[in-house]
């Protein structure tokens, strides 16, 4: 019998450190015998990756930005996420809809009521249950002070259109994530990502051990190198 799929998303402001732990978690799940689909947003399909390039580098207003994000998400769900979940895979996705509410909603100040309408339109009708609006089974929120994240970005690659935003923008985004987490505490797991890398990994895997999704030994062996 095929095990049910798991849809797990990773969220946080730019520089939170989430991306550096996703591959380690994928390895831990694979070591346990699970098939893993590792993906990201915006992106994950050829069409969505093209939209990602527009979003990261072309100037546009908040509504255009939001429409492109949800267009990419719809294609991503239809082509990658829903088929993987139907096969019983673990889907690990670097950002999903919470990022839209945090960045376009809180960061840009765009109307969250409109975002909720777009969310319903883009995420409904693709699952086996046609009435289901697809949401993650778990969202791991890498919470970090804006100043710490900025220090990490300073030594990274050339910043894109979002990474180059001022600190105040990221404070609004961080608050947006906090509000999303407060509104869905059953779905969110907060990680203090200001700590050392191995401490962040311990926090991360302990969440999955408590849920019974990873064995303690497998989790310990799957950490980032």
CATH number at residue 80: 3.40.50.300
pTM value is 0.92
Bridge partner residues of 190 (DSSP): 141
pLDDT at 15: 83
Residue 88 lies in a domain: yes
Q: Considering the chain, what percentage of its residues have pLDDT values greater than 90?
A: 80
Residue 76 has pLDDT above 60, yes or no: yes
d(CA 8, CA 94) in angstroms, rounded, equals 9
Q: What is the dihedral of CA 139, 143, 149, 152, to 10 degrees?
A: -70
* Stretch among 105-119, 138-152, 210-224 having the lowest mean pLDDT: 210-224
Mean pLDDT of 72-83: 98
**Cβ proximity of 139 and 98 under 8 Å:** yes
d(CA 96, CA 187) in angstroms, rounded, equals 13
Residue 48 main-chain phi, psi, to 5 deg: -65, -30
14 is in an annotated binding site: yes
Closest CA to 205 of 186, 224, 187, 182: 224
20 is in an annotated binding site: no
16 is in an annotated binding site: yes
Instruction: Report the relative pairing of strands 36-40 and 188-192 from DSSP bridges.
Output: unpaired
Sign of the torsion angle spanned by Cα atoms 178, 154, 40, 202: negative
Residue 217 lies in a domain: no
Residue 99 lies in a domain: yes
Confidence category of residue 116, pLDDT binned at 50, 70, 90: very high
Residue 219 lies in a domain: no
Domain that holds residue 73: 6-211
| Average predicted confidence (pLDDT) for the chain | 91
pLDDT at 26: 96
pLDDT at 61: 93
Residue 220 lies in a domain: no
> How many domains does the chain fold into?
1
Sign of the torsion angle spanned by Cα atoms 21, 198, 221, 185: negative
Token pair of 88 as six digits: 């019983």
Residue 223 lies in a domain: no
d(CA 223, CA 225) in angstroms, rounded, equals 6
Residue 222 lies in a domain: no
Residue 64 lies in a domain: yes
109 is in an annotated binding site: no
12 is in an annotated binding site: yes
């Amino acid at each position: 019998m095929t095990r049910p799929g798991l849809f797990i998303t990773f969220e946080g402001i730019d520089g939170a450190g989430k991306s550096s732990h996703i591959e380690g978690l994928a390895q831990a799940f694979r070591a346990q015998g699970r098939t893993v689909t590792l993906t990201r947003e915006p992106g994950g399909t050829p069409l969505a990756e093209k939209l990602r390039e527009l979003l990261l580098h072309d100037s546009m207003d908040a509504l255009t930005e939001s429409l492109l994000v949800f267009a990419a998400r719809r294609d991503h769900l239809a082509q990658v996420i829903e088929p993987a979940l139907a096969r019983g895979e673990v889907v690990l996705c670097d950002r999903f809809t919470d990022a839209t509410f945090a960045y376009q909603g809180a960061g840009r100040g765009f109307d969250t009521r409109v975002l909720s309408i777009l969310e319903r339109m883009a995420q409904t009708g693709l699952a086996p249950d046609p009435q289901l609006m697809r949401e993650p089974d778990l969202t791991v929120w890498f919470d970090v002070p804006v100043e710490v994240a900025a220090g990490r970005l300073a030594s990274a690659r050339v910043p894109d259109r979002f990474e180059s935003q001022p600190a105040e923008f990221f404070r609004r985004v961080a608050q947006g994530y906090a509000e999303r987490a407060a509104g869905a505490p059953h779905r969110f797991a907060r990680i203090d990502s200001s700590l050392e890398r191995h401490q962040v990994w311990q926090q991360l895997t302990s969440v999955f051990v408590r849920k019974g999704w990873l064995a303690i030994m497998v989790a310990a062996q799957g950490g980032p190198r």
